[in-house]
Amino acid sequence: MSPNDRVSPRTFYLNEQHELSRAEREPGGSVPQYADIDWTARGGAISRSLNQITSQIQASHDPMKGKHYFVLAEPVEQLAKFSKDKRKAVDGKVFEKTQFSEKHSRVFKRLGMDLIGVTEAGSAVVHMKPEIVSQLSNTAQALASLGAREKSRWATIDRFEMVPIEARVDLNWLRSLRRAASDEAVIELQPLLTRSEIDSIFRAIIVTLRPNLGEGAVGTGTDYSGRQWLRGKLTPESLERIARDFYSIQSLHSPLISLAASTQPSIRSHGSVIRSDAEISNLPVVGVVDTGVPADHPVLGKYRRGGYVAPTSSATATDPHGTFVSSRIVFGDPDYSEGPPRQTPIGDLRFYDINVSGLNVGDVEGKSVLPALQAIVATAPDVRVFNLSFDMRPLPTIDPVKRSESLLLVQDLDNFIFQNDILAVVSAGNSEPGIRPSTDYPRHFDDPQWSLGPWATSFNSLTRTRIMRSAVPIK
């Protein structure tokens, strides 16, 4: 082979199944032959919708209106294609449902947009630069005269709209708040914003708050995925005004609090720990992400590897749940059916006390979980197993916006587990006491009030569920 015949090597990054992703495959294939589309009408409708959202955004008070557009792309419900496949075709056509979350997601990249997410209704939240919007509007207006390949890029899109307020804030939660009274709330910004742009948005929001009604910012933070958020005390009137006027806000919701309340009776033991300090120091460690353990605990103190207190938590443990979980981690599940032991059992593990408790007794602050895990992984290399014995309400019973935000936290957890090669055990249920499932065990989870909470749906975690606040021990 001569030097001129040589080709440059290519690097392929494969996934777990050793397959190229859709975006990395070589382009090719014929252009889909769509049927029953009036391209003149379609292009005109899309162009008018782009012009309309431009007018609405420019009339807002959002400081990003000259730099970023975050809007909704509404899908065509069903597409018809010409086909010669006699098994699948009906009158020479096959039909497929538009799915922006799957095979039709690539259309936005081809049109110069960024796909942010897909709503439960199937609409796509997309990001565009203002200069792209005018180009797209002109292209859509002339769509009928363009070639088949250019038309195919627009086939799945019906029109563009502003993201409605109910997609950014749960109206049921908003109506439940006391008028003219401030409550804890979290404001999540859209991704793809720079640090200076985020600062401009936060400042624009803060100047609209009314201190005389108790409104104000409490703090800011960054999710593991890089998304920024602002926490504060706001009235429902301000929450609604912000949701309507700041489209670069992704969502507004109450704090993502999980429950870790426990009514476990304490078992007092007598005697001294059998293991020596040297033996204890060589035991493996489990990070207990919970409500904290008193630093001077007479039994667990010897098995404490270290401690971390989240900025939102109290350094003094106010709830016994963290102590109960840590004791199960250290001592396992001893049999006390014949009464309390005469001496302290031998511990087989140590624990790292990771306190992420919320403001109220028995609460766990969801936004503190990932920063806590990051801190421990970075500073304690011997801690690679973590236990999370808490969860929110059953997933189907949570309002849509807050449910979506909760699942984004869990997505961050899954990505963190994969990137850092750790083991996380989610060992908690979320059924309220006194609620009997409509379907008896073992199909009780078919009842929405007995289904899993957000944390327990983690894909990369080991999951064991139990009844919240029950006397069933965690194994």
Q: Does residue 21 carry a pLDDT above 50?
A: no
Indicate the pLDDT class of residue 30, thresholds 50, 70 and 90: low
User: Is there a contact between 4 and 50 (Cβ–Cβ < 8 Å)?
Assistant: no
Instruction: Please report how the helices 369-379 and 400-420 are oriented relative to each other, as an axis angle in degrees rounded to 10.
Output: 10
Integer Cα distance of 132 and 135 in angstroms: 5
pLDDT tens digit string along 298-350?
999 999 999 999 998 988 888 899 999 999 999 988 777 777 777 778 899 99
Angle at 371 between CA 472 and CA 114, to 5 degrees: 110
Single-letter amino acid, residue 425: V
- CATH of 167-254 given 3.40.50.620, 3.30.70.100, 1.10.1240.10, 3.30.70.80: 3.30.70.80
pLDDT score, position 160: 97
Cis peptide before 32 (omega within 30 of 0): no
What is the arithmetic mean of pLDDT over 270-296? 82
Indicate the pairing of strand 34-35 with strand 78-82.
Answer: antiparallel
Amino acid 4: pLDDT: 58
Percent of the chain with pLDDT over 90: 63
* The predicted structure's pLDDT at residue 9: 63
Residue spans per domain, the chain? 29-163, 167-254, 277-464
Q: What is the pLDDT of residue 431?
A: 67
List pLDDT tens digits, range 54-103: 999 999 999 999 999 999 999 999 888 887 777 777 777 888 899 999 88
Mean pLDDT score of the chain:
86
- Those residues with Cβ within 8 angstroms of residue 182's Cβ, 6 or more apart along the chain or in another chain: 213, 214, 215, 233, 234, 235
Least confident of 162-176, 257-271, 393-407: 257-271
Distances (CA, A) of 165 to 115, 228, 241: 19, 20, 10
pLDDT bin (cut points 50, 70, 90) of residue 51 is very high
Q: According to the model, what pLDDT value does residue 471 have?
A: 32
Residue with tokens 């929450």: 239
pLDDT of residue 445: 67
Provide CB contacts within 8 A for 285, sequence distance 6+.
305, 349, 350, 351, 352, 380, 382, 383, 385
Weakest mean pLDDT among 84-88, 166-170, 304-308, 459-463: 84-88
pLDDT for 269 equals 43
pLDDT at residue number 355: 96
Helices (H) and strands (E) in the chain, counts: 11, 19
Structure tokens, 71: 């809007």
More confident residue, 16 or 363: 363
Q: Which of 385, 408, 459, 435 is closest to 225 using CA atoms?
A: 408
The C-alpha atoms of residue 352 and residue 350 are separated, in whole angstroms, by 7
CATH node for 277-464: 3.40.50.200
Helix spans in 390-458 (H): 400-420
Confidence class of residue 3 from pLDDT cuts 50, 70 and 90?
A: low
Close Cβ partners of 19 (under 8 Å, ≥ 6 residues apart): none
> Given pLDDT bands bounded at 50, 70 and 90, which one contains residue 279?
confident
- Closest by alpha carbon to 407, among 429, 420, 391? 391
